[in-house]
Amino acid sequence: MTQVSDFVLGLLQLLSYLFVLAVGLAVLWVVVLYVRDKTQTESTLRRNYPVIARFRYLFEHMGEFLRQYFFALDREEMPFNRAERSWVYRAAKNVDSTVAFGSTRDLRPTGTVYFVNCPFPELTEDQTEPTAVTVGPYARKPYTTDSYFNISAMSFGALSVPAVRALSHGAKKAGIWLNTGEGGLSPYHLEGGADIVFQIGTGKFGVRKPEGGFDDDKLRAVAEHDAVKMFELKLSQGAKPGKGGILPGEKVTEEIAAIRGIEVGKAAISPNRHPEVDCVDDLLDMLNHIRDLTGKPVGFKAVVGAYGFFDDLCEAILKRGIESAPDFITIDSADGGTGAAPMSLIDNMGVPVRESLPLVVNVLIRHGLRDRIKVCASGKMINPSEVAWAFCAGADFVNSARGFMFALGCIQALQCNKNTCPTGITTHDAKLQYGLDPTNKAERVAYYAKNMRKEVGTIAHSCGASEPRKLQRYHARTVLDNGRSVSLSELFPEPEVRGEA
């Protein structure tokens, strides 16, 4: 008994010594910080309020998370609010998506979109399967698919290995395509057997010569993969029009550098445009070169800025012949996302898809090229309402990147550019990637795509359309600043084809 008491007393004495030591170190640390803050000249607050002012930075950092989980209402956050994210999470987990009592969505703000139901919809609850669409009728190997909601461009490098694996396998399960992004074609894109759209960015990663420019042999090698169905030439993206892609140096591993054809550990910054393309004729020359070389459909991706560009493009196509046209155009929205972009661009540049998509479709109709050129819409379309609206506006396909990131488990931590993504999606830190199981997440990617297809079909059915691509502009209405709504067909009336009465 005495030995036990002595041991306890000794332990308590040791703990008291450790406590005194800890307090002493803490006091010493505070004194060091005080002296350091009082003598530095970089921060006025820390110079005037040493030590205490440091809490400001802590609270500022923690504010993002506190607002997200405790203070922001369901429909307040940006870029995506809790209600939007929650639908994706439920769809990806394939759980019940019904809600009770009433919608929390306010239908009164200017710009709100809603759909008009048909008084006599089809009695059957079974949805009509979407018809197949053929892209690239003048290519040697046209691409035919009935998928209308696909995975938008996200590069290997910006995304981790397990994330790309999950997307590849999930896309195959759902029967949708996967866009590689501008980072080149990796083994992980091909692993799942999904249809691939190979994106060629301004840096031409994966198909470039060491000094820059196309390497035709590498381009042919990519096209030899049966899984690669189409090529997309990236002119610009919504989050940073006028600036090329940015991959921080800490994310450029040996494997990524080898796939892209760049230096290890050095930031990969693409040019702000293709140096070879100075006008619409140069653009058509490049598109036709890629199509002739690969034999597969080719299109381009751009965020809309100056409208006249599309009129000039259509006029150049009609002079050359419709076989020279791009097989598809991807219209990216000014509110599109990215892993890294200057705030001056991400906040201010480009035209949002709500305006740009119907405008571009109208240009194609006016020039008689709407059937020849297919239209993809992308940019902040993660819920059925946005996707259905895009079909009303005239899209043939809708592509989403951030929606599928949420399906992978993204929590909108806003750390995509820091290699510290807590969910392992946009980091190459093996410890953080550990939590992302590609097998499980592939199922979620597939469920998200399938449930999106189901619910967009439900909206179309309620509108009286047999399938989403049959939706028309009169099916969607937009609230104006006077509180009344107007049909999309009135906001953006379809023009007559030039030359017709």
Same domain for 236 and 377? Answer: yes
Cβ–Cβ under 8 Å, residues 259 and 156: yes
Cβ–Cβ under 8 Å, residues 271 and 110: no
Look at residue 126 and tell me if it is in a domain.
no
- Measured CA to CA, the distance from residue 436 to residue 408 in angstroms comes to 8
Instruction: Point out the domain boundary residue: 17, 46, 71.
Output: 71
Q: How many structural domains does the chain have?
A: 2
Strand partners, 332: 303, 378
The reported pLDDT for the residue numbered 474 is 96
- Measured CA to CA, the distance from residue 477 to residue 489 in angstroms comes to 8
Q: Which residues contact 19 (CB under 8 A, 6 or more apart)?
A: none
CA distances from 57 to 12, 13, 51, 68, 352 (A): 37, 38, 11, 18, 34
CA distances from 155 to 47, 188, 241, 328 (A): 44, 11, 17, 20
**3-state percent breakdown (helix, strand, coil) of the chain, nearest 5:** 45, 15, 45
Reported as a single tens digit per residue, the pLDDT across 325-340 is 999 999 998 777 776 6
Closest alpha carbon to 253 in 245, 244, 263: 263
Instruction: Point out the domain boundary residue: 48, 71, 94.
Output: 71
CA distances from 349 to 95, 163, 238, 246, 333 (A): 38, 29, 8, 17, 10
Look at residue 341 and tell me if it is in a domain.
yes
Same domain for 197 and 286? Answer: yes
Look at residue 31 and tell me if it is in a domain.
yes
Same domain for 167 and 267? Answer: yes
Q: Is 117 a residue whose pLDDT tops 90?
A: yes
Reported as a single tens digit per residue, the pLDDT across 8-48 is 777 778 788 888 888 888 888 888 888 888 888 777 667 77
Look at residue 327 and tell me if it is in a domain.
yes
CA angle 249, 415, 343 (to 5 degrees): 85
Q: Which residues contact 17 (CB under 8 A, 6 or more apart)?
A: none
Same domain for 159 and 64? Answer: no
Same domain for 148 and 45? Answer: no
Chain position carrying tokens 């480009």: 350
Two tokens, residue 326: 């791009």
The reported pLDDT for the residue numbered 356 is 93
Two tokens, residue 23: 């307090």
Cβ–Cβ under 8 Å, residues 178 and 212: no
3-state secondary structure of 451: helix
The reported pLDDT for the residue numbered 501 is 35
Mean per-residue pLDDT, 126-148: 92
Domain with 366, as residue range(s), is: 133-491
Cβ neighbours, 10 Å, residue 335? 18
Q: Which residues contact 164 (CB under 8 A, 6 or more apart)?
A: 156, 186, 188, 189
Two tokens, residue 300: 């381009």
Q: How far is CA 474 from the centre of its chain?
A: 28
Q: What percent of the chain has pLDDT over 70?
A: 90
Look at residue 357 and tell me if it is in a domain.
yes
Look at residue 23 and tell me if it is in a domain.
yes
Instruction: Point out the domain boundary residue: 31, 52, 71.
Output: 71
Reported as a single tens digit per residue, the pLDDT across 209-265 is 887 788 999 999 999 999 999 999 999 876 667 677 777 777 788 888 888 888 888
Would residue 268 be called left, alpha or beta, if left means φ above 0 and alpha means ψ between -120 and 50 degrees? beta
Same domain for 462 and 328? Answer: yes
Mean per-residue pLDDT, 465-490: 94
Same domain for 64 and 206? Answer: no
The reported pLDDT for the residue numbered 186 is 94
Closest alpha carbon to 162 in 428, 443, 449, 444: 428
- CATH for 289: 3.20.20.70
- Measured CA to CA, the distance from residue 259 to residue 99 in angstroms comes to 46
Mean per-residue pLDDT, 426-455: 92
Look at residue 97 and tell me if it is in a domain.
no
pTM confidence score: 0.85
Same domain for 179 and 264? Answer: yes
- Mean pLDDT rounded to a whole number for the chain: 87
Same domain for 223 and 323? Answer: yes
Cβ–Cβ under 8 Å, residues 203 and 245: yes
Strand partners, 113: 478
Same domain for 67 and 142? Answer: no
User: In this structure, are strands 298-303 and 268-269 parallel, antiparallel, or unpaired?
Assistant: unpaired
Look at residue 258 and tell me if it is in a domain.
yes
Cβ–Cβ under 8 Å, residues 363 and 310: yes
Same domain for 137 and 56? Answer: no
Same domain for 46 and 185? Answer: no
Q: Is 498 a residue whose pLDDT tops 80?
A: no
Reported as a single tens digit per residue, the pLDDT across 49-93 is 788 777 766 666 665 565 555 555 555 666 777 778 888 888 999
